[in-house]
Amino acid sequence: MTTGPLSVEDKIEKGKLLKEQGNAEFKAGKNVEALRFYHQATLFLTGLDNGNALSSMVPSAVLAETAKKDITDTLRACYLNMAGELAWKRAAGAFGDLAR
């Protein structure tokens, strides 16, 4: 089954779904898997809010403010979660160094 390119709305929904999957993996203690989902979510969402993705599909399309907010909120959550995981690894590494 061949499908066409995803619409902007589909990409937003996919990004949100991937973020939620990352959250579930994080809660399950599967941090590496969580980071993968967060990274995939950012790939789906990056650039959608600045119009670049829209120009190739619909020249006069204007992204609704609610869609921009969804994109921004989801990206922010993903980046914060990824940064938090990296900070945790650094802190754990530093503690390990101190324990030696």
Whole-number CA gyration radius for the chain: 17
Higher pLDDT pick, 54 / 21: 21
Q: Residue 25 is encoded by which pair of tokens?
A: 């993996």
Q: Is residue 87 one of the residues assigned to a domain?
A: yes
Q: What is the pLDDT of residue 2?
A: 56
* Domain count within the chain: 1
Q: What are phi and psi of 89, to 5 degrees?
A: -65, -40
- The pLDDT tens digits of the residues spanning 43-61 come to 988 888 665 544 445 443 5
pLDDT at 59: 41
The CA distance from 99 to 92, in Å, is 10
For residue 2, being part of any structural domain is answered with: no
For the question of whether the overall pTM of this predicted structure is more than 0.85, the answer is no
Rounded-to-integer distance, Cα 21 and Cα 37, Å: 6
Sequence letter at residue 93: G
Range of the domain at 31: 8-99
The answer as to whether 63 is a domain residue is yes
In a domain, 94, yes or no: yes
Domain-located, residue 93: yes
Do the beta carbons of residue 41 and residue 18 sit within 8 Å?
yes
Q: Is residue 82 part of a domain?
A: yes
Over residues 56-78, mean pLDDT:
75
Residue 60 in any domain: the answer is: yes
